[in-house]
Chain A
Amino acid sequence: MNKRIDVHHVTRVEGHGNIVVEIEDGRIKECRLDVVETPRFFEAMLRGRPYQEASHITSRICGICATGHATASLRASEKALSVEPSEQTQLLRKLTFHGEILDSHVLHAYMLVAPDFLGVGSVIPLATSHPEVVLRALRMKKLAGDICAVVTGRHTHPIAMCVGGFTHFPKPAELENLHQRLVAARADVDETVALFATLHWPQFERDTEYVSLTKPDEYAFIDGEIITSDGARLPAEAYRQVTNEHLVTHSSAKHTRHLRQSYMVGALARFNNNYPQLHPRAKEAAATLGLKPKVTNPYLNSAAQVVEIVHCVEDAIAIIDRLLERGITSEQPAPVKAIPGEGVGVCEVPRGLLIHHYWIGEDGNMTGADCVIPTNQNLANLEADMLALTPLIAEKPIKTMQLDLEMLVRAYDPCISCSVHVLEVEPK
């Protein structure tokens, strides 16, 4: 049996990747995800720039997780410069972060993944066949974008965030409006859970090491320690012990490995590692979706995103309650206490663990930078899944095989334009 699948530029993913699978005489000869995105060189370009610019430049790594990059960047600078953001700053950052997670997860689950299950090529025919589904997705996406816009001016690329705080503050009326809309959105969220509970996810199990941030008192999105499902636990600053980035010839994005040949980050890893900290309503949603940690079917990453949609809506409501209760003040950014410095900022962006590591010189200019992107961390694991899946589906017609593989790639929600950059950097 000879088969060749060559999906040149996988669609409905962010960035450019090709699936290459070749079976010769029944044996797998090739099984790769080629990353053919152009290299982008952000770390090299950051050098010599004032640290105040870093979050504006790095948000441009990614249009979808711009807020995540900006936040990881600010945390790296703040750690380097001993800046301690206020409670208000932390609350506002969490709120806009939830907006971005919602925006990205709704986009991915509804517009990039759902068409595969509903048998169409994109969300556009769905507008005719399933208008209520598309309208719901658009309503939720608009709300998510508006959360970001109220806090930072816009979602892609956020404006009002700076080292130590914010340069603009939402008015109570704007927050009250968001609060009302979030409460009203619970109906859409319930419908979303119900819809995704009806989908027939491909059956495929492959256990791996799940890596995420963790915090004792909340479902971690900003800051925290790195933990893995294989029992490792270490401070953010020791990230290189986990990531071990290395280059492979068929990808302009670096690969990573920790205790096994590969590991997974993202919604499924967070769900597996941090289930206890999920909001009770998110736990109910998980039960409806049939998810119980530890989940080892990578296709269910999209289902874990739906659980996080529930969590983020509930937590956003709670954060706005807290902000309104304590009041918003037009405070100055928290001061820089030490320069030069070195710092590591970590976040859980929609696609998983994001690390920014900065070196800032005495003159306030960046002397070095290292950014580790979630999609890079997932590439080796995704290829391992492809390799395990291919023999199981090799008897299927080639079109079906191709769709199964494309759906697997999409389940990881890869953000390829983010992933091509890279590092191994020491400050000069």
Chain B
Amino acid sequence: MSQNGKPKVAFFDFTSCEGCQLTVVDSLQDHPDLLAAVEIVQFREAMSEKGEDYLVAFIEGSCTRESDEARLKKIREQASIVVALGSCAHLGGVNSLKYLHPLDEVRRYVYGDQADWYDTYDVRPIEAVIPVDFVIPGCPIDRQEFISAVKALLLGKKPFIPDYPLCVECKLKENTCLFTRGKVCMGPVTRAGCDAICPTYGQSCEACRGFISNPNETAMRDVLTKHGLTVEGLTSMYTMFTTYQVRETLLQRKNANE
């Protein structure tokens, strides 16, 4: 707490597009009251002032090099509450597409003979490096969900993040199901909370918020079969934001079977 009794909050970024922090800026412009309720001590993208004493750390971005681990651990030591902000921090996000190719080959494709100049390793969500208390999912985060989460934290409550599939919200929006329009969609297994914004604008859900904790795989297969599709045909969409999760799940299952 600062002397004025306001909780001190800091924002940090690792490998990301910084779009979630921009969404934070956009969210706050509609909620100046929230800005008055906290003291922001670090937000490199928006301010030069810098304080090392903070209670809550919001972290955007994935960990993609060993040298970033120390910085993450330092944040964890200081902050009482660590919140993963957005898909890159939460899941590894689009950064984890790198997994689909051999790491060395990816480096050479981009940096050629000088690949060794640049430090990188297998992408991971921040929870793979430090314990995370809360997650605000999405690519980018949903403005309303961010505001609700901050309000909950200020009240000492656990932020509510839905654990039901996107289809619930999509139905409430009265959208036409994309499967009936011949498109595949990750809605049946993806965590809701974005108000089904992509299907509402005519695009398939790409699972940027990650899977619900107990996805009904059988029902998903049934939906696919009914529309003449296969899991294999969905592979590309399954891996857009969630390559790290899919890989971890497959590894766990493999280990369980052995």
Contact = CB atoms under 8 A, between A and B. Distances in A.
- B46, B47, B110, most chain A CB atoms within 10 A: B110
Interface string A14-39: 11100000000000000000000011
Nearest to B18: A63
B22 A63 contact: yes
A36 to B, nearest CB: 10
B17 A44 contact: no
Contact of A66 (B17, B35, B94, B110): B17
Contact of A61 (B13, B17, B107): B17
A64 B18 contact: yes
Contact of B19 (A47, A127, A141, A157): A157
A44 B197 contact: no
A92 interface: no
B16 A41 contact: no
A57 B23 CA distance: 18
A47 B15 contact: no
Contacts of A60: 17, 19, 93-94, 139
A371 to B, nearest CB: 10
B29 A57 contact: no
A423 interface: yes
Contacts of B35: 124
A391 interface: no
B95 to A, nearest CB: 7
A152 B236 contact: no
A111 B28 CA distance: 14
Interface in A55-84: 56-57, 60-64, 66
Contact of B202 (A12, A155, A168, A424): A168
Nearest to A139: B29
Contacts of A417: 16-18
Given A40-B95, A247-B117, A63 B47 contact: no
A259 B51 CA distance: 45
A111 B29 contact: no
Nearest to A423: B110
Contact of B44 (A11, A123, A152, A154): A11
B18 A39 contact: no
A135 to B, nearest CB: 9
Given A14-B45, A111-B46, A249-B117, A45 B94 contact: yes
B203 interface: yes
A123 B46 contact: yes
A38 B15 contact: yes
Interface in A379-393: none
A21 to B, nearest CB: 18
B111 interface: yes
In which size bucket is the chain B interface? Answer: 35 or more
Given A60-B93, A63-B19, A63-B21, A9 B44 contact: yes
B94 A122 contact: no
A99 interface: no
Interface in B62-114: 64-65, 68, 93-95, 97-98, 100-101, 105-107, 109-112, 114
B26 interface: yes
A122 B201 CA distance: 35
A159 B106 contact: no
Interface string B106-135: 110111101001111000000000000000
Given A12-B45, A63-B140, A56 B240 contact: yes
A61 B88 CA distance: 12
A38 B110 contact: no
A183 interface: no
A85 interface: no
A247 B48 contact: no
Contacts of B22: 63-64, 107, 156
B230 interface: no
B140 A157 contact: yes
A41 B68 CA distance: 17
A110 B35 CA distance: 18
A127 B29 CA distance: 12
B40 interface: yes
Contacts of A57: 94, 97, 240
Interface string A394-428: 00000000000000000000000110011111000
Contact of A422 (B65, B111, B120): B111
B48 to A, nearest CB: 4
A167 B40 contact: no
Given A57-B97, A249-B117, A41 B107 contact: yes
B46 A66 contact: no
Nearest to A47: B101
A38 B46 contact: no
8 contacts: A38-B14, A40-B95, A44-B110, A50-B236, A64-B19, A141-B29, A153-B198, A168-B201
Interface of B: 13-23, 25-26, 29-30, 32, 35, 40, 43-50, 64-65, 68, 93-95, 97-98, 100-101, 105-107, 109-112, 114, 117-120, 139-140, 197-198, 200-203, 206, 236, 240
State the 5 A-B residue pairs at the shortest beta-carbon distance, nearest first: A63-B19, A167-B202, A122-B47, A153-B201, A45-B97
Given A14-B45, A247-B112, 4 more contacts: A56-B240, A121-B48, A122-B47, A167-B202
